[in-house]
Amino acid sequence: MDAIQVDGLTKEFDTVTAVDDLSFTVEQGEIFGLLGPNGAGKSTLINMLVTLLGPSEGAARVNGHDITKERGDVRDSLGIVFQEPAIDEELTGTENLAFHGRMYGKRTAEREERIPEVLELVDLADVADNKVASYSGGMQRRLEIGRGLMHEPEVLFLDEPTTGLDARTRRDTWEYIQRLNEESGVTIIITTHYMDEADFLCERVAIMDQGDIVAIDSPEGLKDSLGGDVVTLGLNGPANEFVDRLGDRPWVRERDRTDEGIAITLEHGTTRIVDLVRLADETEATISSVDLEKPSLENVFLALTGSTLTEREADEPSTESESREESSQAARASR
């Protein structure tokens, strides 16, 4: 059984369609990413899956439970870490987890057994009795994740899990999330607008733009869809024979003349540079410069939407802001 099944899910706000007829599945145990700019519909989609918003049309199931007909069962089977902090800095790590355990109806004996397990899992056992105000940003984020795991959910939603963290702490958090998935087997859904985060963490990524999923695949599959690496060669002197003979090479997918030379799209660019140099020698072309560019998810987003992610974020629809505000309110209410 898939952890999540989405079928034609749609959410409309007045005259704006924030999520438009989405259908996809998430496998059990998978780290699945929703990648896109602010305003793409990520938060609205997540809020429907965790039952904070009702869909306008369509259906979805989380752990086999219908998000409209079995809301209580859906909530019991999932954990969520909101972008908005939802922990009390005046309490200790242990006290925060105990409070959350009580909210989910765990008895005292169950809490006393589960809390040390969670603190060990999120590498906070040594500071369990310290006030959260003394924790670093990364430690607080790990406690947030531990809080979402207190009731042993089958699916964990992480909404922009590393926003506001410095580069080193972000990297540490990625490695922690990856290890958590491997050790616990929990299915993890991540929303992010960081391309490198999706590339590092996710087994599959759904690229969202303007309420739609424009592509869904592994990060490598998405990048491969662009045709391969691009090697740009600066050429001096006659190079027509060199350019013509490139077309005979099965590993060359495209070749385009530039003002300085030629841009070549090919498979495994790093290993093919020596072949290009050898061909240049054979045809008496002179290479003056070599530049290798590997495709990124940013390139994929640009190819699919015609804009960069930053350009998309410059004009954020108000509906997505409202949806994130609802998430923030829910996070504050859960304290």
Which pLDDT value is given to residue 184?
85
Which pLDDT value is given to residue 316?
59
Distance CA 64, CA 74 (A): 8
129 pLDDT more than 60? yes
Distance CA 295, CA 189 (A): 24
pLDDT bucket at 329, cuts 50 / 70 / 90: very low
Nearest C-alpha neighbor of 277 from the set 242, 227, 230: 242
DSSP alpha helices (H): ranges in 185-218?
Answer: 195-201
Say what percent of the chain tops pLDDT 90: 53
Q: How many CB atoms lie within 10 A of CB 126?
A: 10
Which pLDDT value is given to residue 331?
45
End-to-end CA distance of the chain: 33
- What are the strands, taking DSSP E only, across 117-193? 155-159, 187-192
Which pLDDT value is given to residue 315?
63
Distance CA 103, CA 114 (A): 14
Buried-exposed string 93-107: b where 16+ CB fall within 10 A, e elsewhere: bbbbbbbbbeeeebe
Distance CA 81, CA 74 (A): 15
Mean pLDDT, range 134-159, rounded to an integer: 90
Mean pLDDT, range 16-37, rounded to an integer: 95
Which pLDDT value is given to residue 269?
82
Mean pLDDT, range 306-333, rounded to an integer: 58
Nearest C-alpha neighbor of 12 from the set 25, 21, 4, 1: 21
87 pLDDT more than 60? yes
Domains and CATH numbers, the chain: 4-220+305-333 (3.40.50.300), 227-294 (3.30.70.100)
